[in-house]
Amino acid sequence: MLRLGKREFGPHEPVIMAIVNRTPDSFYDQGATFRDEPALARVEQAVAEGAAIVDIGGVKAGPGEEVSAEEEARRTVGFVAEVRRRFPDVIISVDTWRAEVGEAVCEAGADLLNDAWGGVDPGLAQVAARYGVGLVCTHAGGAQPRTRPHRVTYDDVMADILNVTLGLAERAVSLGVPRESVLIDPGHDFGKNTRHSLEATRRLDEMVATGWPVLVSLSNKDFVGESLDRPVKERLIGTLATTAVSAWLGAQVYRVHEVAQTRQVLDMVTAIAGHRTPTVARRGLA
């Protein structure tokens, strides 16, 4: 059972986490939701299309202009409070690696801290424990925040992913984070080249077999683009194919830009797997 905010999800219930970037330079939307009203409209649309979680980020993942903790908090804390007010039932996640930002957004009403940089600030897990919120434990290959991988090598990439994420998850629980609110994430593209990310996808069932709920952040990433030689705006089909494979292998939470399309893919995969009945069933029965 996965428990986040006010919600509980069964083991075969896929969950969509919609991306809401509060940055002027995000790689995908180039700042489309930097201002409050477009960002709030994005939340409303995502929830209507089937997202249970919104993931709010105040710093672009890749290299760029330096963003201080104070500026990151300015971009996210007030917005979290407003989303909490307008959408009391939505699960609010904040994508941050900084404990001080985590503290501020938890005070404002966040339910989940999405630590995409693999515990680089060990205090973030302590914040999650103190507030009783969830935590995403990600493999980033030891990379520092906002850096790109360069000639990264692994003897066995999935073995490294498991070693890091399980260690982070167990540490979080030992600190007091609720076990049912901890997720592990292979960290596609973070500290990895395209072949590493493809192998992580191919072997995702090894993460699922640990019993921890698995989150995947696949949406329009470079490993999709390089696999198909497609620019950012032409990666949806590749993303959805990777989503289907990940769903079949047992991932549970999907961090995405395109909610409606992802919802259909996940509904179809769970129907094929026998975990969901068809929405209608008339064929051959009339």
Catalytic sites, residue numbers = 221, 255
* Nearest-angstrom CA–CA distance, 166 and 261: 31
Which residues are 254's β-sheet partners?
A: 16, 216
* Nearest-angstrom CA–CA distance, 66 and 50: 34
The residue type at 125: A
- Would you say the C-alpha torsion 200, 205, 208, 214 has a positive or negative sign? positive
- Would you say the C-alpha torsion 67, 70, 75, 80 has a positive or negative sign? positive
* Burial state string for 149-162 with b = 16 or more CB within 10 A and e = fewer than 16: eeeeeeeebbebbb
* Nearest-angstrom CA–CA distance, 107 and 94: 12
